Amino acid sequence: MSLRIVVCVKYVPDATGDRHFADDLTVDREDVDGLLSELDEYAVEQALQIAGNADDAEVTVLTVGPEDAKDALRKALSMGADKAVHVEDDDLHGTDAIGTSLVLAKAVEKTGYDLVVCGMASTDGTMGVLPALLSERLGVPQVTLLSEVSVEDGKVTGRRDGDAATEQLQAALPAVVSVTDQSGEARYPSFKGIMAAKKKPVQSLDLDDLDIDADEVGLEGSWTKVDEAAERPARTAGTIVKDEGEGAKQLAEFLAGQKFI
């Protein structure tokens, strides 16, 4: 039977561009350029390698995000995934991690899966909690933060490198795993892959399709709420110490004034 792998990928605001909060203190996702979270490229890569080593496998990439999140799906499809699922609904605006895990779990169940592969964290929220929340919702084992992962005989096996020890972990499928940025360089999409991706299926789902009520998600349904947010002040030019014989003294005085020495 075919090994069904679902990879959760997030569309995130481009960290090199200007990022802002919207009036309701949510991240402004409408007026900024976005892209496939870099850390999720590692998840796609590992899923493709696992699929390549299986007799028969299918890789589905899944995102919960706005219209433009299709760009993230296209990138993953051009890397080699077989199909994509995009969950999009106006009522998702403001959904927190708990709500996102509900939507992802329902979409994973609807798609059908043996293995869910996530990144170690998104590059915007960076909570790193989604894989654990997802495994709890699905009622399957989680094996997280793997730097090496493989599937054999209905089991997923992986290596987790910690500060004090390296662990070899195993779980029976179905399971949820997350992989780190040490798991292996993600491939670049080839020209052939980019062209092929245009013809691959992208299924769109909304909350109704997933039997989720609007009040279970969105700002109202969220367990967490942002009360206050302030953008980081713009960088200033800094202090320039010109060395006209007293440079070292001035530098020491400056550092002492800032309590660095």
Ligand X SMILES: Cc1cc2nc3c(=O)[nH]c(=O)nc-3n(C[C@H](O)[C@H](O)[C@H](O)COP(=O)(O)OP(=O)(O)OC[C@H]3O[C@@H](n4cnc5c(N)ncnc54)[C@H](O)[C@@H]3O)c2cc1C
Q: Which of residues 136 and 152 has its CB atom nearest to ligand X in the complex?
A: 136
Q: For the CB of residue 123, give the shortest distance to ligand X in the complex, in Å.
A: 8
At 59, give phi and psi (nearest 5°).
Answer: -110, 120
Q: Which of residues 228 and 244 has its CB atom nearest to ligand X in the complex?
A: 228
Buried b (16+ CB within 10 A) or exposed e, 183-207: beebeebeeebeeebeebeeeebeb
On whether the CB atoms of residues 198 and 75 are closer than 8 A, the answer is no
Q: Which of residues 44 and 57 has its CB atom nearest to ligand X in the complex?
A: 44
Q: For the CB of residue 103, give the shortest distance to ligand X in the complex, in Å.
A: 8
- Cα–Cα distances (Å) from 173 to 134, 142, 152, in that order, read 15, 10, 10
Which residues, 6+ apart, have CB-to-CB distance to 239 below 8 Å? Answer: 254
Which residues, 6+ apart, have CB-to-CB distance to 247 below 8 Å? Answer: 241
Q: For the CB of residue 238, give the shortest distance to ligand X in the complex, in Å.
A: 32
Q: Which of residues 76 and 197 has its CB atom nearest to ligand X in the complex?
A: 76
Q: Which of residues 60 and 78 has its CB atom nearest to ligand X in the complex?
A: 60
Q: Which of residues 92 and 207 has its CB atom nearest to ligand X in the complex?
A: 92
- The whole-angstrom separation of Cα 77 and Cα 187 is 12
- Cα–Cα distances (Å) from 4 to 75, 123, 184, in that order, read 20, 26, 21
Q: For the CB of residue 256, give the shortest distance to ligand X in the complex, in Å.
A: 40
Q: For the CB of residue 180, give the shortest distance to ligand X in the complex, in Å.
A: 10
Q: For the CB of residue 107, give the shortest distance to ligand X in the complex, in Å.
A: 9
Binding residues vs ligand X (CB under 6 A): 8-10, 26, 29, 37, 39-40, 43, 62-66, 92-97, 100, 104, 118-119, 121-122, 124-131, 224
Q: Is 195 left (phi over 0), alpha (psi -120 to 50) or beta?
A: alpha
